[in-house]
């Protein structure tokens, strides 16, 4: 694979390469367990025409959608082989109406991959905030899926890299510390004192625990909290101690806390990101917005690790990887897009190895 630069990427002599060719064929030449993270958006079934020769092996042009699912399953088998044991695959897919029927294509592919051993960790809904209405007898469709798959249950996930910092902070009012949403703990203190559902021992333990929480708010380690006390509030999801750990805690200890740490929370599985519009010269073309690539790469590819996109198009994944100080490999069947990606990459400034 020397002519493609993959070996140089693996040995850190280079930071990126673009390979023009059929992705299955090219992936077969990459050594086992060398790639940390794959982020990709294959062509959707029967949806778009790409700038490649008519007789070439374009994914998405299969007359039967079952063959599309089969072809992608075979391709992602190869992706699984080249991923490190703790690696991740982020797979963006959109659905398709055919004969007036929504096909459920993303899930057909996802279930097929799961049958082959992939572990599905998240189904991210990418809300593209699209404004167009193509049909008057159904709702507007505005989302696509981004599936996060892993190879093994223990995988690389740098959750601290993608936390969203709290927008509000605790404050001091009249000499009293208030949490980010104004909780002082006074109400809980009164509920503990008056409780007929807590023993004296449990009351003492609850007061002590509340003191500790308030101290953490004062020290800036927590920004907010809520206390649930037996007989006063209900357990968060269910009162059934067989299914809810919280309900169990309430039963055995008499209280529990929900805490919001100062280092923020993880993003949800709904992402509102407008589609990229700076590449609209070709109206059929679906380019990844850079914002969409940041969290997958930061969370599941270590610094200086390798990100690969087997359908790299204009090279968005590789561009994002380099900007985030990772290495990148892009594969695409189209010479036109591969050349576009090569030009695009020259325009970014990045740390050089």
List of residues contacting ligand SAM (CB under 6 A): 22-23, 41, 43, 50, 52, 57-59, 286-288, 311, 313-314, 316, 331-334, 337
By C-beta, is 179 or 295 nearer to ligand SAM? 295
Q: CA-CA distance, 141 to 127, in Å (whole number)? A: 9
The DSSP secondary-structure symbol of 164 reads B
Beta bridge partners of 228: 256
Q: CA-CA distance, 168 to 164, in Å (whole number)? A: 12
Minimum distance, C-beta of residue 237 to ligand SAM, in the bound complex (Å): 38
By C-beta, is 174 or 347 nearer to ligand SAM? 347
By C-beta, is 26 or 227 nearer to ligand SAM? 26
- The whole-angstrom distance between residue 192's C-alpha and the CA centroid of its chain comes to 41
Q: Residue 178: which residues within 8 A CB-CB, separation 6 or more?
A: 170, 171, 172, 184
By C-beta, is 50 or 225 nearer to ligand SAM? 50
Q: Give how far Cα 173 sits from Cα of 160, 176, 181, 182, 183, Å.
A: 31, 5, 12, 9, 11
Minimum distance, C-beta of residue 140 to ligand SAM, in the bound complex (Å): 21
Q: Residue 107: which residues within 8 A CB-CB, separation 6 or more?
A: 145
Determine phi and psi for 257, rounding to 5 degrees.
-120, 145
Minimum distance, C-beta of residue 175 to ligand SAM, in the bound complex (Å): 55
Minimum distance, C-beta of residue 23 to ligand SAM, in the bound complex (Å): 4
Q: CA-CA distance, 320 to 292, in Å (whole number)? A: 10
Q: Which residue's C-beta sits nearest to ligand SAM?
A: 313
Beta bridge partners of 63: none
Q: CA-CA distance, 41 to 3, in Å (whole number)? A: 25
Minimum distance, C-beta of residue 86 to ligand SAM, in the bound complex (Å): 24
By C-beta, is 259 or 323 nearer to ligand SAM? 323
Contact between 299 and 36 (Cβ < 8 Å): no
Minimum distance, C-beta of residue 233 to ligand SAM, in the bound complex (Å): 47
By C-beta, is 18 or 337 nearer to ligand SAM? 337
By C-beta, is 92 or 191 nearer to ligand SAM? 92
By C-beta, is 55 or 200 nearer to ligand SAM? 55
Minimum distance, C-beta of residue 246 to ligand SAM, in the bound complex (Å): 41
Minimum distance, C-beta of residue 47 to ligand SAM, in the bound complex (Å): 9
Contact between 179 and 215 (Cβ < 8 Å): no
Contact between 30 and 82 (Cβ < 8 Å): yes
């Amino acid at each position: 694979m020397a002519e493609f630069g993959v070996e140089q990427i693996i040995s850190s002599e280079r930071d990126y390469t673009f390979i023009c060719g059929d992705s299955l064929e090219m992936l077969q030449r990459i050594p086992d367990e060398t790639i940390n993270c794959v982020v990709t958006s294959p062509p959707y079934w029967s949806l778009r025409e790409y700038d490649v020769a008519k007789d070439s092996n374009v994914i998405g042009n299969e007359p039967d959608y079952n063959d599309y699912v089969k072809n992608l399953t075979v391709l992602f088998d190869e992706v699984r082989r080249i991923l490190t044991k703790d690696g991740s695959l982020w797979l963006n897919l959109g659905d398709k109406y055919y004969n007036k029927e929504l096909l459920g294509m993303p899930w057909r592919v996802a279930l097929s991959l799961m049958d082959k051993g992939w572990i599905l960790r998240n189904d991210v809904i990418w809300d593209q905030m699209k404004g167009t209405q193509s049909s008057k007898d159904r709702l507007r469709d505005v989302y696509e899926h981004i599936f996060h798959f892993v190879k093994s249950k223990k995988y690389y996930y740098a959750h601290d890299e993608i936390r969203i910092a709290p927008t509000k902070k605790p404050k001091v009012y009249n000499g009293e510390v208030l949490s980010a949403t104004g909780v002082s703990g006074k109400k809980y203190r009164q509920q503990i004192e008056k409780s007929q559902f807590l023993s004296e021992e449990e009351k003492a333990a609850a007061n002590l625990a509340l003191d500790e929480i308030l101290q953490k708010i004062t020290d800036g380690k927590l920004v907010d909290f809520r206390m649930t006390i037996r007989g006063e509030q209900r357990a968060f999801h269910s009162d059934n101690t067989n299914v809810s750990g919280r309900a169990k805690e309430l039963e055995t200890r008499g209280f529990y806390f929900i805490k919001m740490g100062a280092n923020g929370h993880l993003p949800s599985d709904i992402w509102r990101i407008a589609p990229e519009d700076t590449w609209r010269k070709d109206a059929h073309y679906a380019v990844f917005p850079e914002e969409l690539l940041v969290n997958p790469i930061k969370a599941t590819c270590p610094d200086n690790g390798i990100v690969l996109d087997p359908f790299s198009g204009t090279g968005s994944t590789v561009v994002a990887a380099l900007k985030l100080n990772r290495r990148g490999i892009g594969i695409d069947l189209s010479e036109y897009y591969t050349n576009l990606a090569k030009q695009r990459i020259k325009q970014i400034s990045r740390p050089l190895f």
